Structures are given as structure tokens and as C-alpha cells.
Structure 1
Amino acid sequence: MTLAQQVLATNDDLPIRTELPVHSGKVRSVYWLTDTDSRRLIAERGYPVPADTPLAIMVISDRISAFDCIWHGEGGLNGVPGKGAALNAISNHWFQTFKDNGLADSHILDIPHPFVWIVQKARPVKIEAIARQYITGSMWRAYDNGEREFCGIRLPEGLHRDSKLPELLITPSTKGILRGIPGVPEADDVNITRANISDNASAFGFNSVDDIARYETLLKQGFGVISDALATLDQIFVDTKFEFGYVKDTEGNDKLIYMDEVGTPDSSRIWDGPAYREGRIVEKSKEGFRQWLLNHFPDPDILLNKNRMDERLALARDNALPVEVMMDISRTYLGIAETIVGQPITLSDNPKQEITAILAEQYGLIR
């Protein structure tokens, strides 16, 4: 089997029984189960949710996205070997660590396969919850250009690139395009302040103003748990994005949970501790790939300027990246995953076949 065949690039064509269109995002595809199958699994498996809770199968892929584009390699390599398994393994590890530390639950009910989650339906909070412990990336570029206020928070003078911030900063942005909120531009991924959120709590999807403080607490606690754990591995948790949502508990009450993924190389920056102490930045996340793209193409403004999205999409579509670049990403993802979970990540020769067999034999979900 070739390298390209081992990669799970297309994950929206599995024969999972569903009556709704498959939703395919940048990395994951979501199959909503029928009401009959959802109720059956809840009863058979004893999932701690109300009997009428809609369930979904969430299948990760090995696709690699950066700057809102999907990239591919030479020789039909349409993903990064091991990336999906690494991402899920890391998220599973942190979600379990959060539970062990008494933090909130996640939307995951079951993990049938390293590429697959069974999740309960959640109502997402419309915020990209971002926490930063170091000044780097876009924040550093803005600071270096003279900006001092970020999401309503004023930073002091005299900060240096890649240095630790005086305190953990929460710099939220919008998730999706939100309309009709005073002071918030109608665009995806725009920075917002705490005042924006508290003045418009329901528009952002919060049940109450009190839940804003709850999300901030969970963000700080989650960041702290991951940061402390990585520090014991001599790795630095630089910044991250969390997502939150509401699900129903067994009594039918709403509860705020962590959702999507947490602490992964896709959603976070992680730096190597020994290299940082030597004055070097060694990325253990997607940021290294982003920097490679910025250095590789002659006009990096295409990747940074949202007004040039058509050119950016063409750049990703028309340029097959060297296989060695894709394999370097693979080594980064698998390396940090194995460091975090403490054991090797086992890769599948034929993930689609495995997933289909498990969901057929153990869950009865294949049409």
C-alpha cells in the first residue's frame, strides 16, 4: 500500500446510516444518526444523556489546513500520515485529564476507533475562546506595529517577541459571522471584548451572563492543566483555542462543556522547552508549517491578507507540496502526540475499512 493510500483524506463517504447530509469541515466530518439508532445506542451503551438526545459519528481525517485552505502533497498525498490519529489521541488525553481534575465534561460519549468519536448534540457558544501565555504570531506583529490594546486589554510597553506575558490573556474572537451585535463587525474571526460578550450574552449563545464567567474559568483552568502537564515534559504551552457549548445532562438540564478539540497542534502553539532556553523557537504544532508556507511562497501577503482569499485558495489548489514537507508535519504531530500520551501512536493501513467494520459489527450503524 502506498503512502497516499494510507492517508484518510476523504472522510465524508463512509456508509454510515444517516438521514441527513454529512457535514464536512476542514478536518472532521459529522454523520447525524437516525433517531432510532441514537435511542438504541443510548440504551445499549448506557450513555449518560436523555433518551431522545441526537447522536453523531464524528470522523477525523488526515487533511492539513492552514490559512483557511486545505493543502496537498506531491504524488497524490492529500493529507499528513498519522495526523488524524495524533489529533484525536491528544484531545482524548486532555479531555480525560480535565475530567480527572474535576473540570467540565466534553461532547464525546464513546471512542470506537482512533479516528472516530460518538458525540451528543451540542449547541455551540459562538466564540473562539483564545488564551495566550506568550506574545508571538499575529499578536506580536500587531504589537510591533504599535498596537497596545487587544480585546479591550492594554499591554505594557517594552515587551519582546516570543516573551512571556505578564499574565494569561483571554483574547476571544467571533466564531462564524454574527449579525446585529452592536460594535461587532459582521465577519468571521474578529476580535471582541469582554464587554461585547457581556452586553450581548444571548447573541453569543450564552444561557446567562453568569455563564460568561464560567467559560472564562473553564478556559483558564483548562489552559492551566495542559500547561502544567506539558511543563513536566519540558514543553511550553504558548497559546490555544478552546470551544464551548451546551449539552443536556441526564435530567435534561443544560450544562456548559468543552467541545471540538483541546490542546492539539492544530488549535495550539507548543514550543520545545530546551530550545527556548537556548533562545531558539522549535515549534511542536502547525505553526511550523504556517511559517514554512510564508517563507516558501514569494508573496506571503496572499496568506495573511483576507482580502486575497481567491488567490490564496488558488495557491493551495495549484501547488503540490514536497513529500518531505508533509512528512515533516507528520513527525511533528506524531512526536508531540507520543510525548503527551506516553506511548506510540499506532497507524492504520486502511482506516476506512477498520472504521466501517467496527461500526458495523459493534454498533450496527452501517447501511
Structure 2
Amino acid sequence: MSLADQILAVNNDLPIRTDAPVHSGKVRSVYWLTDADSKRLIQEKGYDVADDTPLAIMVISDRISAFECIWQGEGGMQGVPGKGASLNAISNHWFKLFKDQGLADSHILDIPHPFVWIVQKAKPVMIEAICRQYITGSMWRSYVKGEREFCGIELAEGLSKDSKLPELLQTPSTKGILEGIPGVPAIDDVNITRRNIEDNFEAFNFKSPDDITLYEKLLTEGFDVISDALAKLDQIFVDTKFEFGYVKDKAGNDKLIYMDEVGTPDSSRIWDGEQYRAGKVVENSKEGFRQLLLAHFPDADILLNKNRMDERLALARDNELPASVLMDVSKTYTAIAEKITGQKIVLSANPKTEIIDILREQYQLID
């Protein structure tokens, strides 16, 4: 079996029983279960949710996205071997640590397969909850241009690239396009201030102003838990993006939870501690792939300039990256996952067949 066969690239064509269209994102696909299957699984598996909670099967893929495009490799490689399993393993590890340390729950109820989560329906907070411990990336690009206010936060003079910030900063942006919020452009991923959120908390899907403080607390606590654990592995948690949402508990009350993924190489920058102390930044996250793309193509502005999105999409569609590049990315993902979890990431010979067999035999979700 070829390496390409071990990559789960297409994950929206599984024969899972559903009444709704499959929702496919850049990396994950979501299958909403029928009401009958949701109720049956809640009873059979004893999930700690209200009996009428809608459930979904969330299937990760090995696709790799960067600069809002999906990238491919030569020889039919439509993704990165081991990437999906690594992302899920890391998230599962952190969510368990959060629960063990008394932080909030996550949307995950069950993990039938390394590529699969069974999740409860959550109403997302429309914020990309970003936390930064070092000045790099978009914050550094703004700083170099002379900007000293970032998401409403005043930055000191004299900061240097990739240096540790005086304190942990929360720099939120919008999740999706939000219309009609004063001072917030209706575009995805636009930086916002805490004042923007306070003045329009309902537009961001918060149930109350107090929940803004709660999400900030959960963000900081979650960041600190991961940062402390990574520090023991001599890895630096540079910055990250969390997502939050509301679910109903068994009694029908709203509760704020972590959702999507946390502390992964896709959602975070992770640097090697030993190399950083030696004055060199070595990325153990997708940022390394982004930097590689910027160096690989002659006109890097295509990847950075949102006004050139048509050219960027064509670049991703018409260029097959060398297989060696995707294998280097695979090594980055599997190595950091194994370091964090202490478990080997095993590549499935045929992940799609495995998923179908498990969901048919153990969950009766495939006819």
C-alpha cells in the first residue's frame, strides 16, 4: 500500500447515517446524527448531556491548509501522513488535562478512533480567542510598522522580534463575518478589542457580560496549563487560538466549554526551548510550513495579501509540493504529538475502512 493510501484526504463521503448535509471545513468534516441515533447513543453510552442533545460525528483529515488554502504534494499526496491523528491526540491530551485540573469541559463526548470524535452540539462564541506570550507573527508585523496599539492593548517601545512579552496578552479576532457591529469591519479574522466585545456581547453570542470575564479566565487558565506542561518538555508555548461555545448540561442549563481543538501545531506556535536559548527559532508547529511556503514561491506577497486571493488559490491548486516537504511536515507533527502524549502515532493502513468498521460495529451508525 502506498503512502498516499494512508492519508485521509477526503473525509466528507463516509456512509454515516444523517438527515443533514455534511459540513466540511478546511480540515474536519461534521456529520449530524439523526435525533433517534443521538438519543440512542446518549442512553447506550451514558454521555453526560441532556437527553435531547444533538450529537455529531467529527472526522479529521490529513489535509494541510495554510494562508486559507489547501496544499497538495506530488505523487498523489493530498495531505500529510499522521497529521490528523497527531492533532486529535494532542487535543485529547490537553482536554483531559483541563478536566483533571478542574477547568471547563470540552465538546468531545467519545473518541471511537484516532481520527474521530463524537461531539455535542454547541453554540459557538464568535471569537477567535488568541493568547500571546511572545511578540511574533502578525503582532510583530504591526509593531514594525510603528503601530503601538494591538487589539486595544498598548505595547511598550523597544520590543524585539520573538522576545517574551512583559505579560500574557489576549488579542481576540472575529470568528466568521459579523455584520452590523460598530467599529468592527464585516470581514473574517479582524482584530477586535475587549470594548468591542463588551458593547456588543450578544452579537458575539455571549449569554451575559459576565461570560466575557469567564471566557478570558478559561483562556488564560488553559494557556497556562499547556504552557507549564510544554515547559517540562523544553518546548515554548508561544501563542495559540482557542474557541469557546455553549452547551446544555443534563439539567438544561447553559455552560461555557472549550471547543474545536486546543494546543495543537495547527492552532498554536510551539518553539524548541534549547534552540531558542541558542538564539534560533525552530518551529514545532504549522508556522514552519507557512515559512517554507513563503520561501518556496518567488512572490510571497501572493500568500500575505488578501487582495490577491484568486492568485493564491491558483497557486495552491496548480502547484504540487515536493513529497519531501510534506514528509518533513509529517515528522514535525508526529514528533511533537509523541513528545506531548508519550504515545506513538501509528499510521493506519486504511483509515477510512477502519472508521467505517468501528462506527458500524460499535455504534450502529452505518446501514
Band the TM-score falls in, shorter-chain normalisation: over 0.9
The alignment status of 1:17 with 2:17, answered yes or no, reads yes
Tell me the secondary structure at the aligned position of residue 131 of structure 2: strand
What does the per-residue CA deviation read over 1:172-196, in whole Å, with 9 as the maximum and x for residues that have no partner?
0000000011110010000000000
Q: For residue 203 of structure 2, what is the amino acid of its counterpart?
A: A
The alignment status of 1:118 with 2:136, answered yes or no, reads no
Q: For residue 344 of structure 1, what is the amino acid of its counterpart?
A: K
Instruction: Please give the residue correspondences for 1:15-94 in structure 2 after superposition, counting only pairs within 5 Å.
Output: 15-94=15-94
Residue 185 of structure 2 is matched in structure 1 by 185
Residue 130 of structure 2 is matched in structure 1 by 130
Q: For residue 232 of structure 1, what is the amino acid of its counterpart?
A: K
What does the per-residue CA deviation read over 1:159-183, in whole Å, with 9 as the maximum and x for residues that have no partner?
0000000000100000000001111
In angstroms, what is the RMSD of aligned CA positions?
Answer: 0.4
CA distance in 1, matches of 2:124, 2:133: 25
Q: For residue 133 of structure 1, what is the amino acid of its counterpart?
A: Q
The alignment status of 1:311 with 2:311, answered yes or no, reads yes
Instruction: Please give the residue correspondences for 1:96-115 in structure 2 after superposition, counting only pairs within 5 Å.
Output: 96-115=96-115
CA distance in 1, matches of 2:190, 2:321: 30
CA distance in 2, matches of 1:140, 1:279: 17
Question: What is the CA distance between 1:343 and its match in structure 2?
Answer: 1.7
What does the per-residue CA deviation read over 1:234-276, in whole Å, with 9 as the maximum and x for residues that have no partner?
0000000000000000000000000000000000000000000
Taking only the aligned residue pairs, the percentage that are identical comes to 78
Q: Which runs of 5+ in 2 are unaligned?
A: none
The alignment's TM-score, normalised by the length of structure 2, stands at 1.00
Tell me the secondary structure at the aligned position of residue 56 of structure 1: strand
Q: Which runs of 5+ in 1 are unaligned?
A: none
Residue 200 of structure 2 is matched in structure 1 by 200
Residue 244 of structure 2 is matched in structure 1 by 244
The alignment status of 1:267 with 2:267, answered yes or no, reads yes
Question: What is the CA distance between 1:126 and its match in structure 2?
Answer: 0.1
Residue 360 of structure 1 is matched in structure 2 by 360
Instruction: Please give the residue correspondences for 1:146-225 in structure 2 after superposition, counting only pairs within 5 Å.
Output: 146-225=146-225
Q: How many residues align?
A: 367
CA distance in 2, matches of 1:206, 1:55: 22
Question: What is the CA distance between 1:145 and its match in structure 2?
Answer: 1.2
Residue 292 of structure 2 is matched in structure 1 by 292
CA distance in 1, matches of 2:150, 2:101: 31
Q: Provide runs of 4+ in structure 1 moved above 6 Å.
A: none
The alignment's TM-score, normalised by the length of structure 1, stands at 1.00
Question: What is the CA distance between 1:142 and its match in structure 2?
Answer: 1.1
Q: For residue 356 of structure 1, what is the amino acid of its counterpart?
A: I
CA distance in 2, matches of 1:142, 1:193: 16
CA distance in 1, matches of 2:142, 2:46: 50
Tell me the secondary structure at the aligned position of residue 271 of structure 1: strand
What does the per-residue CA deviation read over 1:301-342, in whole Å, with 9 as the maximum and x for residues that have no partner?
100011111100000000000000000000000000000001
Tell me the secondary structure at the aligned position of residue 104 of structure 1: coil
CA distance in 2, matches of 1:141, 1:204: 27
